[in-house]
Amino acid sequence: MGVEIERKFLVRDMVVLRGLTGVSYRQGYLSTDPARTVRVRRAGDHAFVTVKGASTGPARAEFEYEIPPAEADAMLDSLALRPVIDKTRYRVDAGGRTWEIDVFGGVNEGLVVAEVELESADAALEIPPWAGPEVTHDQRYFNASLVAHPYPEWRED
């Protein structure tokens, strides 16, 4: 069984992306049940179906399979819950790890989240200076949650 262990942070300084080229992502969900999400993702010239289990802290079961891009496009256009998520993903090396920074567009315009995958839940992590508050445990920042509750609609708590 695959297990994804990741931590998420807001990005406080966009200068980290200066000079980098990102990859356009389009992704949608066939299921957003918290116990099991099913995602279809088009990432540049590649496409994937991913099944994720419920989160336990920063970890959850994950199974991902590459599929033909045309099939992903068809599922995104006809089967995925609305809205479909649009974002550009950048990869940044910092502190001996590769961080993925997602700059959201479309209905989630304005949201920028950095995530880093870890080998264990208690792995040491050097937080780069451009990273802001940690949002790992805040389910609002899960991509599946952004479908039902887009970022600009959130109210200040």
Domain ranges in the chain? 3-153
Contact 134, 9 (CB under 8 A): yes
Region 36-51 average pLDDT: 96
pLDDT, averaged across the chain: 94
Between 47 and 139, the more confident residue is: 47
Is there a catalytic annotation at residue 29? Answer: yes
- Whether the model pTM is above 0.85: yes
The three state secondary structure string of 74-101 is: HHHHHCCCCCCEEEEEEEEEECCEEEEE
What fold is seen in the domain 3-153? Hypothetical Protein Pfu-838710-001 (2.40.320)
Of the residues 29, 65, 90, 141, only one is catalytic, namely: 29
Classified as helix, coil or strand, 114 is strand
Q: Are 79 and 49 in contact (CB under 8 A)?
A: no
pLDDT tens for 48-88 read 999 999 887 788 899 999 999 999 999 999 999 999 999 99
84-104 pLDDT, tens per residue? 999 999 999 999 999 999 999
CB-based contact 64:4 (threshold 8 Å):
no
Whether 40 has a pLDDT exceeding 50, the answer reads yes
**Hey, which bits of 1-157 come out as E strands?**
3-11, 23-33, 36-43, 46-53, 59-66, 85-94, 97-104, 112-117, 131-134
